[in-house]
Amino acid sequence: MNVLQKFALNYGHNKMQKTLSNALDIDILDKEIKKVPDEGKEYMLYAHIPFCHVFCTYCSFHKYKYSDDLCKEYFKNLRSEIYQMKGAGYEFDSLYVGGGTTLIDEDELLKTLELIKKLFNVKEISCETDPNHIDPKQLKRFKGVIDRLSVGVQSFDNDILRKVSRLERFGDQKSLIDRLENAIGILPIMSLDLIFNFPFQTKEQLLKDINIAKNLNPEQITLYPLMKSEVTRENIAKTLGVSNEDNEYEFYKIIRDEFKDYHQNNAWAFSKLDSGLSDEYVGSNYEYVGVGSGAFSFLNGKLLINAFNLDEYNSRVKNEQSTVMATCEFKTKDRLQYIFLTQLFDGGVDIANYNAQNNCDIKKELWFELNALKFVKAIYEENGKIKPTEFGSYLCLVLMKDFYTGMDKVRAYFKDSAKLNRARKVKIMQE
């Protein structure tokens, strides 16, 4: 990496932190805010399932320890909130289900997905799960319902699995391979999700993970960089140690080279064919509606935050109240930068579409950003699209990682009921 590229990465990182600090000026509501759609517009729906049997040290997503009764009550209320979205006039063309472990109760999930398909014109459904919930008999129940299933494998290396406490929970390399071999091919698309750049991970370990994943022949393979936020950094250091060497960029170049014959869906997802399905819901769907405890929505330049506490969430739904407990409004420039980043991360920005959707001229509004990215050879323009170079894809990966780790702090704050009771307005990044 040359000096200009290092400067661009450092500048981009600092800029993202500053933007999040300025933008995340959140109002904790003492009045009801409804989610209202624009007439005739289709949105993406995000549904959150906040339950896991076990917690991974590097994961900061909103989750609770699984309880059968608690989970069933939650799904019932989730379906009630979905009915509320229908009553509000929303139409959804796609659904992304995240967690937690989305397949933790297959009966309840199937009932919920079938309801969504009945109520809305949903054309594609993506879900996430872990290796313990890919039993072929259960997956066959979701044929014709789930289009894409992401399985959080993280690594096939037994040493890494042991260090992150996944070996006993999800099995060793051989058992993982056996389970995946039996599951791949049941649903239209299965993605194997791997993490790279663990402390002390070697090039040989990375290549072996990639080769095992490719030999399993799934429709897609996704490789996320290890994300260390203020919330997870201490736990990661305790379980994995701290390395003075950061191989993230070198490993990313290896990944790009190893998947040069695949279709690159976004900065970190690679598939055998171009499926057109959404791999990161914030990418091609910068406006979306979130349902469920702790779910985010992004509508008309506003971030809307659902109640995190399960008792509060359940109470709001049962009383037919809005589940939104806090909001944050983005300035126009911040919103334009965010949409540009997510679309570039997704593979490219169609200039005409961007201008039409945002009622702006991108080359005027983002003049400095575009010229700076061109100067460091991170983007180029071709056939009316702004596309990332290899370095540009890596820069997008770093900035998206910064964005996600920034949102970790939002999740951590809103899980702390004591803090919420003390404040009506908070600057999250300065907490």
Residue-by-residue pLDDT tens, the chain, 431 positions:
788 887 788 877 777 776 666 656 666 656 778 888 888 888 999 999 998 887 766 666 778 788 899 999 999 999 999 999 999 999 999 999 988 888 889 999 999 999 999 999 999 999 999 999 999 999 999 999 999 999 999 999 999 999 888 888 899 999 999 999 999 999 999 999 999 999 889 999 999 999 999 999 999 999 999 887 665 666 666 667 677 778 999 999 999 999 999 999 899 999 987 765 555 555 556 789 999 999 999 888 888 989 888 899 999 999 999 999 888 888 888 889 888 988 999 989 999 999 998 899 999 999 999 999 999 999 999 999 999 999 999 999 988 888 887 777 777 677 665 445 444 554 444 44
Contact 339, 365 (CB under 8 A): no
Instruction: Give pLDDT, residue 244.
Output: 72
Instruction: Give pLDDT, residue 426.
Output: 47
Cα–Cα distance, 67 to 70 (Å, whole number): 5
Tell me the whole-structure pTM to 2 decimals: 0.88
Residue given tokens 């759609």 in the structure block: 37
Instruction: Give pLDDT, residue 431.
Output: 47
**If we measure between CA atoms, which residue out of 344, 354, 351, 349 comes closest to residue 392?**
344
Instruction: Give pLDDT, residue 423.
Output: 47
Instruction: Give pLDDT, residue 79.
Output: 97
Phi-psi region of 201 (alpha: psi -120 to 50; beta: other; left: phi over 0): beta
Q: In angstroms, how far is the first alpha carbon of the chain from the final one?
A: 34
Instruction: Give pLDDT, residue 235.
Output: 65
Q: Parallel, antiparallel, or unpaired for β 42-49 and 91-99?
A: parallel
Cα–Cα distance, 15 to 372 (Å, whole number): 13
Count of other CB atoms within 10 angstroms of residue 332: 11
Instruction: Give pLDDT, residue 427.
Output: 47
Residue given tokens 């490219």 in the structure block: 348
Instruction: Give pLDDT, residue 204.
Output: 97
* Domains within the chain, CATH numbers bracketed: 3-29+332-430 (1.10.10), 42-282 (3.20.20.70)
